[in-house]
Amino acid sequence: MTYHPKSEFMSVMMTRGFLADCTDYQGLDEALSKGPVPAYIGFDATASSLHVGSLIQIMMLRWLQKTGHKPITLMGGGTTKVGDPSFRADERPLLGPEQIDANIAGIKQVFAAYLTYGDAPTDAMMINNAEWLDGLNYLDFLRDIGRHFSINRMLSFESVKSRLDREQSLSFLEFNYMILQAYDFLELNRRYGCLLQMGGSDQWGNIVNGIDLTRRVLDHEIYGLTSPLLTTSDGKKMGKSQSGAVWLNADLLSPYEFWQFWRNTTDADTGRFLKLYTELPIDECNRLGALEGSEINAAKIILANEVTTLLHGAEAAANAQATAREVFEQGGIGDDLPTLTLTTDDLGDGISIVQLIVRAGLAGSGKEAKRLIAENGAKLNDEPLKDAGLIMDASALAQPIKLSAGKKRHALVQLG
């Protein structure tokens, strides 16, 4: 791709590694050069928080606003009732309206850290697609919208084809999802003048559908832009850690654990992640990413501090770094460590160390905890833990204890 963009936003997308594909580079670049462009990304409300896998999309919206355009965060209050089949092996569990509304309230907290909402030309808007989907008349929708969709073409999309090739069931409910997402783009264009939909590259088919539909129904020119689907250098999907999803809401994952996730980035990913997840200048990202040996650790601390500051604030980042220094360099306990607080009822006559390791989030199962102990990967108060049969009673927990899995993952256990 040798296209040299005129607009600052396209330039940022291309130089920082956000761009996988675009439906019309030149047309979009021209539109962006003329004034504020409203652009949206859709987020389904399947949980009360987004996780790190969504952060690339949130950063795209942030850069959009920073370069003088108008971000729209579209909450899928309507589409969450259906479920996106894209590249999933099975159908999503369906949620009720109360749960969906509660999830949207949780997700809003994260967006407020990255975007400025309001009524000015470049202020962000939060819109719920239930606004137009909840009141749809099925027969009118089939006649006015459904007739524009070719089943042959929909079957050719990779997200559908991969399910059918594996002979996995794809319900009619899910099949409708791509029509609803296309209709979202049409309505956002009609109601709010939205010219651009962005998303991960797995959304390409859905985005193109929306562009075609809007062109046919309204005869408007609109655009699509996708980001690469991120995996870490060792092939893992971005957003997952050993102990599960890396949530963005502080009530589901402490700022310390969030900071630690970034501090544990592999050497090979550091430069790329600095470009995608921080606002440091490109030259500085390249310089830090090229460091080698123990020097790269300084770059990872900068990465952790910058990303944590954007989400949780500078104070949370500083506290996390101080806790990490205390835990790793001085063998201390650290005030900010993830903490499991037990009651005397929880404790009963005693609780096994294996169960504590699992409940503290340091292992996914008792079997994994026992293996950790057998392979000398577990520590109790910085001393190697040898006995998987150890039972901890109230006297053993009179003072908080520190559990460790490997060198980098720690938790406190205390009696409440």
Is the separation of the CB atoms in 329 and 408 below 8 Å?
Answer: no
Tokens of 296: 């790269």
The whole-angstrom separation of Cα 85 and Cα 159 is: 7
> Which pairing describes strands 196-200 and 38-43: parallel, antiparallel, or unpaired?
parallel
Q: At a CB cut-off of 8 Å and minimum separation 6, what does 341 contact?
A: 414, 415, 416
b/e sequence 375-399, b meaning 16+ C-beta within 10 Å = eebbbbeeeebeebebebeeebbee
* Residue spans of beta strands (DSSP E) within 291-416: 339-342, 351-352, 378-380, 383-384, 391-392, 401-405, 409-415
Tokens of 84: 């996106």
The whole-angstrom separation of Cα 231 and Cα 45 is: 23
- Residues 10, 274, 291: CA angle, nearest 5 degrees: 130
Question: Side chain identity at 160, as an amino acid letter?
Answer: V
* Residue spans of beta strands (DSSP E) within 216-328: 223-227, 240-241, 244-245
Q: Give 373-393 pLDDT, tens digit per residue.
A: 888 888 887 778 888 888 887
The number of beta carbons lying within 10 Å of the beta carbon of residue 272 is 17
The whole-angstrom separation of Cα 267 and Cα 114 is: 26
Radius of gyration of the chain (CA): 24
pLDDT digit string (tens) for the chain, length 416 residues:
567 899 999 999 999 999 999 999 999 999 999 999 999 999 988 888 899 999 999 999 999 999 999 999 999 888 777 655 554 444 556 778 888 888 998 899 899 999 999 999 999 999 999 999 999 998 999 899 989 988 888 888 777 777 777 777 777 777 788 899 999 999 999 999 999 999 999 899 889 999 999 999 999 999 999 999 888 877 777 766 555 689 999 988 999 989 989 998 999 999 999 999 999 999 999 999 999 988 999 999 999 999 999 999 999 999 999 988 876 655 555 556 777 877 777 777 788 888 888 888 888 888 888 988 888 888 887 778 888 888 887 767 766 778 888 877 888 887 76
